[in-house]
């Protein structure tokens, strides 16, 4: 039987731990906090990140690094901003097969999660898991589809490892495209939330999703991704879910911004990391680096980092110079 360890006790890591354990796989959930690991072991509910979902009594939970060494598979489900420091912590642990469930683009280096992991684990097989998968729905067994991407044949083994009758996994060889889709959709979800907060309707959200996908595809294309990937689960699929779901942290963050609340105030009271905030900065820098237009990303950046009023940002988007649809 395979042994798998999940690094990261957030909602996504916890949901995946439940899924794998329920499948009968030897699963360990790792927390960076020994105090919280103890709490989870006793309480059997991740009240911070997946409230209302019971953890199986025999699901192993630990903060001991040694307990996850020797795993057949190690799945990283930590915020992108913390991936480097946690990778450094486990450097030299001999992980053979790594699955990245982290979505984002690192600030400063502009590296994708798989690139960061490859820096610390150059001898490991590294794959990427992404797609429209709200943690709560996965944890409660609602039918969900996802995609695992790898440049090697390991993706088929991971597909078999993760697949259940309620969690269908497809494969892809486009690691870059899958990661970019999973990261950039969070920026568009913030924009969709801002639209909700301003009281706009379905017309507006449809425009945000459609033109947002155009931005994602434009950047992905110039970076070398397969543009057909953005028409799939990790592209339009994840984008639609994150922009629409009431449980999407990025959309919810944007909604509060649209209502006029200050960015720092919202972030300070949010337990979960809002990945789109950091990714927005990186994507804005990538758009400058490659000299491409990403107007929605630019306006989200101006609202989040420069304090621009959300209503003004919308007006500026709507009054841009006329152009042909691309």
pLDDT along the chain (326 residues), means of 10: 94 98 97 97 97 97 95 97 98 95 98 98 97 97 98 91 97 98 98 98 97 98 98 98 96 98 96 96 98 98 98 96 92
pTM over cut 0.95: yes
Within 13 Å, how many C-alpha atoms sit on residue 253's CB side? 29
The pLDDT assigned to 205 comes to: 97
Q: How many Å is the maximal CA-CA distance in the chain?
A: 60
Distance CA 15, CA 55 (A): 9
Range(s) of the chain covered by CATH 3.40.50.720: 3-173
325: left (phi over 0), alpha (psi -120 to 50) or beta: beta
- Which pLDDT score is estimated for 152? 86
Alpha-carbon gap, residue 230 to 244, rounded angstroms? 18
Q: What is the CATH number of domain 176-318?
A: 1.10.1040.10
Look up the CATH number of domain 3-173. 3.40.50.720
Other CB atoms within 10 A of residue 2 CB: 14
3-class SS string, 251-310: HHHHHHHHCCCCHHHHHHCCCCCCHHHHHHHHHHHHHHHHCCCCHHHHHHHHHHHHCCCH
Q: Kindly name the residue from 185, 205, 281, 299 that is annotated as catalytic.
A: 185
Is 185 a residue of the active site? yes
What was the pLDDT predicted at 153? 80
């Amino acid at each position: 039987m395979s042994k798998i360890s999940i690094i990261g006790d957030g909602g996504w890591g916890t949901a995946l731990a439940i899924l794998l354990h329920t499948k009968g796989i030897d699963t360990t959930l790792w927390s960076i906090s020994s105090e919280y690991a103890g709490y989870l072991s006793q309480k059997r509910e991740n009240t911070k990140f997946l409230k209302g979902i019971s953890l199986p009594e025999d699901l192993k939970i630990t903060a001991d690094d040694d307990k996850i060494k020797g795993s057949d598979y190690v799945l990283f489900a930590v915020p992108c901003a913390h991936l480097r420091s946690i990778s450094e912590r486990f450097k030299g642990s001999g992980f053979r097969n790594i699955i990245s469930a982290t979505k984002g683009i690192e600030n400063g280096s502009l590296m994708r999660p798989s690139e960061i992991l490859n820096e610390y684990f150059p001898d490991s097989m590294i794959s990427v898991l992404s797609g429209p998968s709200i943690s709560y729905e996965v944890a409660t067994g609602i039918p969900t589809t996802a995609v695992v991407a790898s440049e090697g044949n390991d993706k088929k083994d991971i597909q078999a490892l993760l697949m259940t009758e309620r969690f269908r996994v497809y494969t892809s060889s486009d690691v870059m495209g899958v990661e970019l889709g999973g990261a950039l959709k969070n920026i568009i979800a913030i924009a969709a939330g801002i639209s909700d907060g301003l009281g706009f309707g379905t017309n507006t959200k449809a425009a945000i999703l459609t033109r947002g996908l155009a931005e994602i595809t434009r950047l992905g294309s110039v970076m070398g991704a397969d543009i057909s990937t953005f028409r799939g689960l990790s592209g339009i699929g994840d984008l639609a879910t994150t922009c629409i779901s009431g449980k999407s942290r990025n959309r919810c963050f944007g909604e509060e911004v649209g209502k006029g609340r200050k960015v720092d105030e919202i972030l300070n009271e949010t337990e979960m990391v809002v990945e789109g905030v950091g990714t927005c900065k990186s994507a804005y820098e990538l758009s400058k680096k490659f000299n491409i237009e990403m107007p929605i990303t630019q306006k989200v950046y101006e609202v989040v980092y420069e304090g621009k009023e959300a209503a003004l940002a919308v007006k500026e988007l709507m009054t841009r110079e006329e152009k042909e649809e691309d």
